[in-house]
Amino acid sequence: MTSQARRVGTLLWGSAALTLAMMTTPLSAQEAAEAPASSVATLADIGVEIPGKGPNDPVMTDQEFAQGTEIYFQRCAGCHGVLRKGATGKALTPDLTRENGYDYLHSFITYGSPAGMPNWGTSGELTEAEVDLMARYVLLDPPQPPEWGMPEMQASWKVVVKPEDRPKEKMNDIDIENIMSVTLRDAGQIALIDGGTYEIKAVINTGYAVHISRISASGRYLFVIGRDGLVNMIDLWMEHPETVASIKIGIEARSVETSKFEGYEDKYAIAGSYWPPQYVIMDGDTLEPLKIVSTRGMVWDEQTYHPEPRVASILSSHYKPEFIVNVKETGKILFVDYSDLKNLKSTEIEAERFLHDGGFDSTHRYFLVAANARNKIAVVDTKDSKLTALIDTGGQTPHPGRGANFTHPVYGPVWATSHLGDETVSLVGTDPEGHPDQAWKIVDTFFALGGGSLFIKTHPNSQHLYVDAALNPDAAISASVAVFDIAAMGGDPEADPEYTTLPIGEWAGIPDGQPRVVQPEFNKEGTEVWFSVWNAKDKESAIVIVDDKTLELKQVIKDPRLITPTGKFNVLNTQKDIY
């Protein structure tokens, strides 16, 4: 065992021993806040040495390598993988990076690319010294992170308020269905903002860089998961909503969901991690970890072993007591039957690498997910548990978020995705009964503002389709949003629909930095659309609200607590899978 492995093992087991005695004892809010966190909070906190350091390696001290590991986790691992084997982003293993060389890497990190690589240097997110450091860092072998199993999960598990001590009825006057759960990325918090009054009702400490918020089937509990694998369960019925249970399910993670099928509402929660590659099913009232399942295994097409098949998006089926678990690197979609955890059954569907994010069609029967590094959209039937179609997007890299459902004036019901690599939007026909000739095909592709789009959004009560371009290297493009009039979309593939450009960043009135506009999200009525104006953590950010009918500015929310706002999740829309 290396000294690094011994040191990490000591940290992990020391933390487990310290907190194991209190894992089933409910804590007060003050005790929970003061309780020691697990020693290894994120990959950035792992004590590392330079692996396999040789005489011909780039000059880098242990301290620099540790700093590079921290930056890599915070900025790069999500796309390129913990082991740097690639997925949404290209592989960054030394056999490839050394072929490209230091100058190429330095330039690429500095300026980014229209294919979705952020311009870390010119945007000011990384200093010149940090760009230099990262160009050298990726020329070396990546460190091997530790595992995270049941002992570590149980040691991190906290029940702050026992279920029997929670309110028996709603104790506040908050319109919960119209609450926006807003990720404050670099603050490690979420803000609960009233969708009617625009008032910040609460700011709650959570995990690092919360990735998503999900709502229980009853609409009472809000679940958030950070990139550090920390899950917070927040009771929205309390006089002042706050965390009632938490657990750390891994060292890097992205997805959480709850059981929604009739008879299983709020019974279970599930979370998936990027590292270790696995998912865990938990008790829906307390987050007690019940079942851990590894996703390591064979890639579906090559039948070769992959050590890091990360769990990407997870959804809850409306047709069966099943979770839909998307495994990125192996290209498999799992239908996990949670009706009997002791005798767990899972249907494995071979789809395509590298599964990322997606959402239901308007009927909630079909799930469409982007295999973005393969430029494909996989469609599965959640009623029959089968692969319905594998759609080629024509060389583009789809990044839909959950996508956008609307009725096209020519093609009928469609689901839309934008792309990382170029400025196009693609529409997929989703009506096999009413429009069988268009079903599960790209029926139209047209241009929006530019590449680097992360989210596309509409609402059943809206006649507009919104497309961001948050990762575009051009500051003017990344601070704007394209809006399409759905009723004006024609059927002529040679005539692209026109769009209106909303200068969201300009409307925010932020003079410093390079703020990026990201993730349109509707209020519960579908009459307003909210945008995050995401700036550097030491600069001013904002939320900009637009009237959906007139496309005019309605409100700008600014507050010192709004630090790097990114994702926003309306409670009702998220609970009911409305998008």
Q: Catalytic annotation on 306? A: no
DSSP string, 261-313: STT-TTTEEEEEEEETTEEEEEETTT--EEEEEE--EE-TTT--EES---EEE
- Which entry of 23, 76, 153, 282 is annotated as an active-site residue? 76
117 catalytically annotated: yes
Determine which helix (DSSP H) or strand (DSSP E) holds 438, and give its type and residue range: none
**Residue 472 in 3-state DSSP?**
coil
Active site residue: 356, 408, 459, 464, which one? 356
Count Cβ atoms below 10 Å from residue 33 Cβ, excluding itself: 11
Tally of residues, the chain: 579
Residues ≥6 apart with Cβ < 8 Å to 456: 400, 401, 403, 404, 416, 417, 418, 425, 465, 466, 467, 468, 520
Block residue for tokens 């390696």: 57
Residue 76 designated active-site? yes
CA 190 to chain centre: 14
Which two tokens mark 121? 């240097």
- CB of 545 within 8 A of CB of 557? yes
Edge-to-edge strand ranges of the sheet holding 481-485: 456-457, 464-468, 481-485, 499-502
Q: For residue 562, what are its two tokens? A: 């709004």
Tokens of 291: 């079942």
Q: Known catalytic residue: 79? A: yes
- Cis ω for the linkage preceding 108 (within 30 of 0): no
Q: What is the DSSP letter of 419?
A: B
The verdict on whether 282 is a catalytic residue reads: no
Q: Is 80 a catalytic residue?
A: yes
Secondary structure element (H or E) that encloses residue 80, with its range: helix 77-80
User: Based on the number of CB atoms within 10 Å of its own CB, is 497 exposed (0-12), middle (13-18) or buried (19 or more)?
Assistant: middle
Task: Please tell me which residue in 306, 364, 399, 435 is annotated as part of the active site.
Answer: 399
The separation between the first and the last C-alpha atoms of the chain, rounded to the nearest angstrom, is: 50
Angle between the 102-111 and 128-137 helix axes, to the nearest 10 degrees?
Answer: 130
CB crowding 108-137: b at 16 or more within 10 Å, else e = bbbebebbbbbbbbebebbeeebbbbbbbb
Element (H, E) at 32: helix 29-34
Q: Which of 117, 134, 238, 282 is catalytic?
A: 117
Q: Given CA atoms 159, 163, 164, 166 in this order, what sign does their dihedral have?
A: positive
Nearest to 422 by CA among 384, 392, 394: 394
The catalytic position among 23, 80, 134, 489 is 80
Residues with catalytic roles: 76, 79-80, 117, 356, 399
